[in-house]
């Protein structure tokens, strides 16, 4: 995809094949060339990469024939999408009122200490992203922590290591694979959103 002052030229699917990973290419190849497919395409890429790499967003724009700015707008509008790599497991510590009064702040501190990250950071091995959320809707089992789709009830600080161990792999961790950046001949002069 290249930008000129008056128009945008889009790459064909054949041209995209060498610019993105095989997985991203397969995802984009299955997406219909319709603007209505934008969120679905971003969701598929988010699942695959655990975030939306800039190169992949540019390829979505090319595939759907929409401006990169529109793709970037959607990717930044919805909290389900991330522009930063996320861990394999997302830890959401509820910080809502019921959880707060029952020690959620201390539980968050224990996760930070045991994982070696601050809130909204990802561990070096790519296994965990630690987030604080306002409410997970489980006030009757406060303090609550959600990891991926599993809710942990009545969490105590001393249970945090046991919870982490349940999700930590016993074998060496394979690093997250990211799509290759486009070659310099295919890069555009604009940044997403411009």
- 113 and 50 within one domain: no
Mean pLDDT of the chain: 80
Which residue range is the domain that position 44 belongs to? 2-77
- 73 and 93 within one domain: no
- 136 and 104 within one domain: yes
- pLDDT of 6 reads 36
What is the average pLDDT across 31-55? 81
* Distance from C-alpha of 180 to C-alpha of 59, rounded to nearest angstrom: 12
- 163 and 104 within one domain: yes
CATH value at residue 149 = 3.40.30.10
Is the CB of residue 194 less than 8 Å from the CB of residue 69?
A: yes
What is the average pLDDT across 130-139? 94
Q: What is the pTM of this model?
A: 0.65
List residues bridging with 93 in a β-sheet. 132, 145
Select from 77, 106, 133 the last residue of a domain. 77
User: Does some domain include residue 126?
Assistant: yes
Question: What's the farthest any 2 CA atoms get from each other in the chain?
Answer: 61
Do the bridges between strand 150-152 and strand 128-133 make them parallel or antiparallel, or are there none, so unpaired?
A: unpaired
Q: Extract long-range pairs of 146-153: CB within 8 Å, 24+ residues apart.
A: 146/91, 146/92, 146/94, 147/89, 147/90, 147/91, 147/92, 148/89, 148/90
Q: Which of 63-77, 145-159, 162-176 has the lowest mean pLDDT?
A: 162-176
Structural domains in the chain (count): 2
Do the bridges between strand 145-147 and strand 121-122 make them parallel or antiparallel, or are there none, so unpaired?
A: unpaired
* 21, pLDDT greater than 90: no
* 184, pLDDT greater than 50: no
User: Does some domain include residue 185?
Assistant: no
Residue 177's pLDDT band, with cuts at 50, 70 and 90, is low
């Amino acid at each position: 995809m290249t930008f000129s002052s008056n128009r945008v030229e889009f790459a064909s699917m054949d041209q995209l094949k060498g610019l993105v990973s095989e997985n991203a290419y397969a995802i984009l190849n299955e997406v219909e060339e319709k603007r209505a497919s934008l969120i679905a395409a971003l969701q598929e890429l988010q699942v695959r990469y655990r975030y939306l790499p800039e190169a992949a967003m540019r390829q979505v724009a090319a595939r759907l024939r929409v401006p990169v700015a529109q793709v970037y707008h959607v990717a930044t509008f919805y909290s389900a999408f991330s522009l930063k790599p996320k861990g394999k497991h997302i830890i959401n510590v509820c910080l809502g009122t019921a959880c707060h009064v029952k020690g959620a702040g201390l539980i968050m501190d224990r996760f930070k200490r045991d994982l070696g990250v601050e809130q909204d950071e990802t561990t070096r091995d790519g296994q965990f992203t630690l987030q604080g959320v306002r409410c997970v809707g489980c006030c009757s089992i406060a303090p609550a922590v959600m990891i991926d789709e599993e809710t942990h009830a009545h969490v105590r600080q001393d249970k945090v290591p046991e919870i982490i161990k349940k999700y930590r792999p016993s074998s060496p961790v394979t690093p997250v694979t990211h799509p290759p950046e486009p070659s310099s001949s295919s890069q555009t002069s604009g940044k997403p959103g411009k």
